[in-house]
Chain A
Amino acid sequence: MSPLRKRYRLASRRARREAGVPAMRGAHTRRGVLLAQALVLVLFATLTARMWYMQVPQADHYHELALASHTQKLIVPAVRGKILDSQGRPLVRNRTELTVTADFHTLLNQPDDGAAVLRRVAEVLDVPFAELRDRVRLCGPDTGRPCWPGSPYQPIPLAEDIDPRVALQIMERKTEFPGISAQQMAVRDYPNGDMAAQMLGYLQPITQEEFEAREELRVQFSGVDQVGRDGLEYVYDDRLRGTAGTRTLAVTSQGGVNGVVEETPAKPGMHLVTSIDQKVQRITEDALKAGVERARAEGRPTDSGAAVVLDVRTGNVIAMASLPTYDPSVWQGGIDQATYDQLLSEDAGEPLTSRALQGQYPPGSTFKVSSLSAAVRNGADLNGTYSCPGSVHLGNRSWQNFEGGGHGSVSLHKAIVVSCNTVFYQFGYDTWLQDGGTSPKDDPEEIMAETARGFGFGEPTGIDLPHESSGRIPDRQWKQQYWEDTREQSCRRAEKGYPEVAEEDPGHAAYLKRAAHEHCLDGNRWRAGDAINFAIGQGDVLVTPLQLARAYAAIANGGTLYEPRVARGFLSADGTRVEELEPVKAGTLPIDDRTLEYLQRALTQVPKEGTARGAFDGFPQDEVSIAGKTGTATMTGSEDSAWFASYAPADDPQFAVVAMLPEAGTGGVAAAPVVREIYEGIYGISGSTPGEGGDKGKPKIGEPAMPGAAPPEQLPRVRPDGTVAPPTDTGDSGDSAD
Chain B
Amino acid sequence: MAVPTTIPTAERAGTAARKAEERARSPLRELPGILNRPLTSYYLLAGGTALLTTLGLTMVLSSSMVDSYTETGSAFSLFEKQVFAAAVGLPLLVVASHLPIRVFRILGYPAMLASVVLLVLTVFHGDAYNSGAVRWIEIAGVTVQASEPAKLSFALWGANVLARREELRQLVEWRQLLIPLLPGCGVLVVLVLIGTDLGTTFVLLAIFLALLWVVGAPGRLFLAMIGLVISLAGIMIAVEPFRLARVTSFLNPQADPTDSGFQALHGLYALGTGGVLGVGIGGSREKWGFLPHPESDFIFAIIGEEFGLVGTLVVVGLFGVLGYAGLRVASRVSDPFGRLAAAAITCWIVIQAMVNIGTVIGVMPITGIPLPLVSAGGSSLIPTMAGLGILMALAKSEPAARAALAARGPSRVQRALSWLGLEYSASGAPTRRTGAAAQAHNGSRATQVQARRNRRR
Contacts and interface: CB of A to CB of B under 8 A. Distances in A.
Q: Do A and B come from one complex?
A: yes
Interface in B349-372: 350, 354, 357-358, 361-363
B289 A63 contact: no
A177 to B, nearest CB: 24
Nearest to A10: B172
B4 to A, nearest CB: 9
Contacts of A258: 288
A66 B270 contact: yes
A65 interface: yes
Nearest to A22: B444
Contacts, number: 177
B16 A62 contact: no
Contact of A15 (B1, B173, B220, B319): B1
A16 B216 contact: no
A19 B6 contact: yes
29 contacts: A1-B220, A9-B218, A13-B171, A15-B2, A15-B5, A25-B216, A27-B13, A32-B213, A33-B214, A34-B331, A36-B210, A40-B320, A41-B320, A44-B354, A47-B354, A51-B313, A55-B271, A55-B272, A56-B275, A62-B269, A62-B272, A63-B272, A63-B275, A65-B268, A65-B272, A66-B273, A250-B288, A253-B288, A254-B289
User: Which of A7, A52, A253, A254 is most buried by chain B, counting CB atoms within 10 A of its CB?
Assistant: A253
Interface in A10-36: 10-19, 21-25, 27-34, 36
B289 A252 contact: yes
Interface of B: 1-2, 5-6, 9, 12-13, 16-17, 20, 169, 171-174, 210, 213-216, 218, 220-221, 265-266, 268-276, 285-286, 288-290, 304, 308-309, 312-313, 316, 319-320, 323-324, 327, 330-331, 339, 343, 347, 350, 354, 357-358, 361-363, 444, 447
A236 to B, nearest CB: 42
A44 B320 contact: yes
B9 A24 contact: yes
A261 to B, nearest CB: 10
A23 to B, nearest CB: 7
Contacts of A24: 9, 12-13, 16
Contacts of A17: 169
Contacts of A262: none
A51 B361 contact: yes
A90 B271 CA distance: 56
Given A47-B358, A66-B286, A54 B272 contact: yes
Given A51-B271, A54-B271, A59-B276, 19 more contacts: A11-B172, A24-B12, A25-B216, A28-B216, A30-B16, A31-B16, A36-B347, A37-B324, A40-B350, A47-B316, A47-B358, A63-B273, A66-B273, A66-B285, A67-B273, A70-B285, A253-B288, A253-B289, A258-B288
User: Which of B276, B327, B354 is most buried by chain A, counting CB atoms within 10 A of its CB?
Assistant: B327
A582 interface: no
B312 A51 contact: yes
A482 B91 CA distance: 106
B213 A36 contact: yes
A58 to B, nearest CB: 6
A40 to B, nearest CB: 5
B13 A29 contact: no
Contacts of B2: 15, 19
A49 to B, nearest CB: 10
Interface of A: 1, 6-7, 9-19, 21-25, 27-34, 36-37, 40-41, 43-44, 46-48, 50-52, 54-56, 58-63, 65-67, 69-70, 250, 252-254, 258
A33 B327 contact: yes
A105 B330 CA distance: 59
Q: Is the interface of A mostly helix, strand, loop or mixed?
A: helix
User: Which of A7, A28, A32 is most buried by chain B, counting CB atoms within 10 A of its CB?
Assistant: A32
A50 B172 contact: no
A66 B347 CA distance: 35
Nearest to A59: B275
User: Which of A24, A54, A61, A69 is most buried by chain B, counting CB atoms within 10 A of its CB?
Assistant: A54
A252 B67 CA distance: 12
Contact of A56 (B174, B309, B339): B309
Contacts of A66: 266, 269-270, 272-273, 285-286, 290
B9 A51 contact: no
A30 B316 contact: no
A368 to B, nearest CB: 77
B172 A13 contact: yes
A6 to B, nearest CB: 6
A40 B272 contact: no
B15 to A, nearest CB: 9
A61 B361 CA distance: 14
B372 to A, nearest CB: 14
A105 to B, nearest CB: 14
B154 to A, nearest CB: 18
Nearest to A52: B309
Contacts of B269: 62-63, 65-66, 69
Given A10-B172, A36-B210, A52-B309, A43 B304 contact: no
B361 A40 contact: no
User: Which of B265, B285, B304, B308 is most buried by chain A, counting CB atoms within 10 A of its CB?
Assistant: B285
Contact of B13 (A23, A46, A52, A253): A23
Contact of B9 (A7, A10, A21, A30): A21
A63 B277 CA distance: 13
A6 B169 contact: no
B431 to A, nearest CB: 27
Given A15-B2, A27-B20, A55 B214 contact: no
User: Which of B173, B216, B271 is most buried by chain A, counting CB atoms within 10 A of its CB?
Assistant: B271
B320 to A, nearest CB: 5
A480 B37 CA distance: 113
A6 B174 CA distance: 9
A25 to B, nearest CB: 7
Contacts of A41: 320
B275 A70 contact: no
A50 B363 CA distance: 8
Contacts of B216: 13, 25, 28-29, 32
B331 A14 contact: no
Contacts of A10: 172-174, 218
Contact of B316 (A18, A44, A65): A44
A27 B173 contact: no
Contacts of A12: 5, 9
A30 B276 contact: no
B274 A59 contact: yes
B41 to A, nearest CB: 13
Given A36-B210, A37-B324, A48-B316, A62 B9 contact: no
A436 B172 CA distance: 129
Contacts of A23: 13
A60 B2 CA distance: 66
B49 to A, nearest CB: 17
A1 to B, nearest CB: 8
B213 A62 contact: no
| The 8 nearest A-B residue pairs measured at CB | A62-B272, A66-B269, A27-B16, A55-B309, A14-B172, A59-B275, A12-B5, A33-B331
B361 A33 contact: no
A58 B272 contact: yes
Nearest to B274: A55
B55 to A, nearest CB: 16
User: Which of A13, A17, A44 is most buried by chain B, counting CB atoms within 10 A of its CB?
Assistant: A44
B268 A62 contact: yes
A6 B224 CA distance: 13
B426 to A, nearest CB: 19
A27 to B, nearest CB: 4
Contacts of B174: 6, 10
B447 to A, nearest CB: 8
Contacts of A14: 169, 172
A481 to B, nearest CB: 62
B159 to A, nearest CB: 13
B131 to A, nearest CB: 18
